[in-house]
Amino acid sequence: MPKQIHLAAHFPGVNNTTVWSDPQAGSHIEFASFVHLAQTAERAKFDFFFLAEGLRLREQGGEIYDLDVVGRPDTFTVLAALAAVTDRLGLAGTINSTFNEPYEVARQFASLDHLSDGRAAWNVVTSWDAFTGENFRRGGFLKQEDRYTRAESFLRTAWKLFDTGVGPFEHTDQHFDISGTFGVPRSPQGRPVILQAGDSEEGREFAAATADAIFSRHATLEAGQKFYSDVKSRLAKYGRTHDQLVVLPAATFVLGDTDADAQEKAAVVRRQQVSGATAIRFLEQVWNRDLSGYDPDGPLPDVEPLTGENTIAKGRASVRMFKDPVQTAREWREKAAAKNLSIRDLVIDVSARQTFVGPADSVATQIDDLVQQDAADGFILVPHVTPGGLDEFADTVVPLLQERGVFRADYTGPALRDHLGVR
């Protein structure tokens, strides 16, 4: 029997992939946008709807980063509201374990699980920088290597509360010393589905020990198989089997009538996603200096990146991604010279995120092949237009996957754990 594919929908937010200039682009704040994407995902029988969240608006050069989303409503508020306008779709929220407390988070997720009849999921994340921590009393009070220790303690403390239901609890360790009475009855799932997105050694181990699903950025065959094999091989030491952890890479898509049509659309989308100004701002994150005087259609800067602890791109993942900016700049100059690329062309090349490009039947085949070859168990789809960017996929690709017998024609159970096949 072929493996069954899992699909989830990501509501785009803090990234550079949303095409704001598209005539179909809508609000990232109005509730109608969340409803549209969620109901499309449910119509297509997706496993869950996923909300990412940042605890502080990112900055660049001391100002709010141009492509950050200002005014995104609170995650729990949005998901609780969506519970009333959906029936079976899982509702996943990103909640930080570094700057929250187990009692309150457990109470919120138990409540969401009740309100949704068993569809809650918690993407457990840590915060890696003191910049984000400045919004909180404790600030950046943990070293990066200690944050997964707190995250695991946080999660296991929350589990104790979930399992208690209305009753007394007590928990003491190096991070928490709490006792009292938990005020929410045991919810339909018992515990929310646990999602994890770490790619580091600590993140992979944390997922193997605690998560029901892990996000991945490895969406190609070779890289996907390597990641898949690695995280699945870690499960046995925790007494878990391969089917108890679902691997879900993030993926984008561009559909067209033919391969040539889809490739042409994809090229247009990439240039829409990376304007000249966006390209300069992206390059500044590596060079760590003001490059506003450079022409995005001209050559890369001949000056070297500024190194050190101070960064102009506070809260940006690039601070961790480009660990050796001087080497990165050298490699990018070589690539630009070899391909005759301008700054904008180079940024488009190095930041390409289009996973699936082609007609619907081709995309269905690509997705199915990757899952059947154990490069993934499914994908979290990230549309480049909000909120209608998932519509075409739902109407064209999903029926083809259903015809192949690799994707559900209808939900088989009421809870998210039923959709994912995890208990």
Task: Specify whether the CB–CB gap between 223 and 249 falls below 8 A.
Answer: no
3-state secondary structure 89-118: CEEEEEEECCCCCHHHHHHHHHHHHHHCCC
Of 389, 388, 401, the residue nearest 360 (C-alpha):
401
Dump pLDDT digits (tens) for 293-306: 999 999 999 999 98
Of 98, 209, 96, 99, the residue nearest 145 (C-alpha):
98
What is residue 38's predicted lDDT score, i.e. its pLDDT?
98
pTM above 0.85, yes or no: yes
Dump pLDDT digits (tens) for 113-131: 999 999 999 999 887 677 7
Of 133, 59, 57, the residue nearest 97 (C-alpha):
133
Task: Specify whether the CB–CB gap between 277 and 296 falls below 8 A.
Answer: yes
Task: Specify whether the CB–CB gap between 313 and 288 falls below 8 A.
Answer: yes
Structure tokens at 260: 């040539």
In whole angstroms, what is the distance from residue 401 CA to residue 133 CA?
44
For residue 103, the Cα-to-chain-centroid distance in whole angstroms is: 25
Question: What residue ranges of the chain have pLDDT lower than 50?
Answer: none
Indicate the Cα dihedral angle 140, 141, 144, 149, nearest 10°. Answer: -140
What is residue 15's predicted lDDT score, i.e. its pLDDT?
59
Q: How many CB atoms lie within 10 A of CB 301?
A: 19
Task: Specify whether the CB–CB gap between 289 and 23 falls below 8 A.
Answer: no
Complete DSSP assignment for 335-357: HHHHHT--HHHHHHHHT----EE
Give the DSSP letter of residue 85.
Answer: T
Give start and end residues of each alpha helix (H) in 53-101: 75-83
In whole angstroms, what is the distance from residue 104 CA to residue 176 CA?
13
In whole angstroms, what is the distance from residue 35 CA to residue 39 CA?
6
Dump pLDDT digits (tens) for 42-64: 999 999 999 988 777 777 777 77
Backbone angles phi, psi at 285, to 5 degrees: -65, -25
- In the block, which residue shows the tokens 């079976």? 88
3-state secondary structure 314-331: CCCCHHHHCCCHHHHHHH
Q: How many CB atoms lie within 10 A of CB 251?
A: 24
Backbone angles phi, psi at 238, to 5 degrees: -105, 15
Three-state DSSP at 359 gives coil
In whole angstroms, what is the distance from residue 420 CA to residue 304 CA?
48
